[in-house]
Amino acid sequence: MTHGVTSHTAQVNGQTIPYDRAGDGPPVLLLHGFPQTRAMWRRILPDLARDHTVIAADLRGYGASSKPDGVHNYTFREMANDQRALLRTLGFDRFHLVGHDRGARTAHRLALDTPGAVLSLTLMDIVPTHLLLDDLSKEVATAYYHWFFLAQPAPFPETMIAADPDHYYERCLTSWGGAAITDFDADALARYRASWRDPATIAAMCNDYRAAIELDFADDAADLGQTLACPALVLYGADGLMARAYDVPATWAPRLSDLRAAALPGGHFFPDLHPAETARALTDFLATAA
């Protein structure tokens, strides 16, 4: 990769976690979502690296990370423990935290479990996990059916997806905001495809969604009264399902006491499709959250 980005692999929390690193300054950790890899940040990372040490890591089960067996290994808490251990290994006890989709849910859990480690928190295009599952509308259930399809017992969803993983996951990319597959960066898309064609990745991503329903929901229920005090930014796609179904900032207001929010162009995958606008929103926020 260019712009001074170097790629590495760390052994942390019993897992192999690959990551890209660039820049110098206060640390920022970037966490991707489903069904992607850390490649989603490739056009955002250089802008952030002008003033920060930027780490973009694969979540466990995704990309080139290790893929342990068992639903219990894919809770947001376990994913968060990986990333917290990675940053500590790199010498950063406190850092800015940015997540999209599953990465945002991991980031929220990391902040809940270790609030002292988080300098600021940015959550992209999600509402709280507990809220989504506990107060599910038919519109959200229809559009986000994958939460319940992927959570079905193995090997049903794995077998169905493996018949044509490109078709299945590309439909995910294009159906949550009206994008065409050609709108995605060709290099990032090639990296996504290489990851999701691996049967172990397919199984891991299913286990991620199984864990959300079987385990994460209870973890979040136990923390419903917890409010995070760090500076927080909620970004969401102006044309995405979350913006149509929810007042996204209002869903986070009881949980984030220092909250800023903004709608960005596009749907769910605005970091891929509108990287310049996303980078600008992040750099502006990080400048105030330092």
Measuring CA to CA, how many Å separate 198 from each of 63, 87, 193, 243? Answer: 9, 27, 9, 32
DSSP 59: P
Residues 255 and 229: their CA atoms lie apart, in Å, by: 9
3-state secondary structure of 233: strand
Nearest to 173 by CA among 191, 156, 158: 191
How many Cα atoms are found within 13 Å in the side-chain-facing hemisphere of 149? 14
Domains in the chain with CATH codes? 6-289 (3.40.50.1820)
Which pair of structure tokens corresponds to residue 148? 């319940």
pLDDT at 13 over 90: yes
pTM > 0.95: yes
Residue 220 annotated as catalytic: no
Mean pLDDT value across residues 165-186: 93
Mean pLDDT value across residues 218-236: 97
> According to DSSP H, which parts of 4-75 are helical?
45-48
For 36-55, the pLDDT digits (tens) are 999 999 999 999 999 999 99
pLDDT value at position 177? 74
- For 39-73, letters b (16+ CB in 10 Å) and e give bbbbbbbbbbbebbbbbbbbbbbbbbbbbbeebeb
Among the listed residues 101, 125, 208, 220, the single catalytic one is 101
Residue 223 annotated as catalytic: no
User: What pLDDT band is residue 1 in, cutting at 50, 70 and 90?
Assistant: very low
Which pair of structure tokens corresponds to residue 177? 């905001």
Among the listed residues 52, 100, 130, 268, the single catalytic one is 268
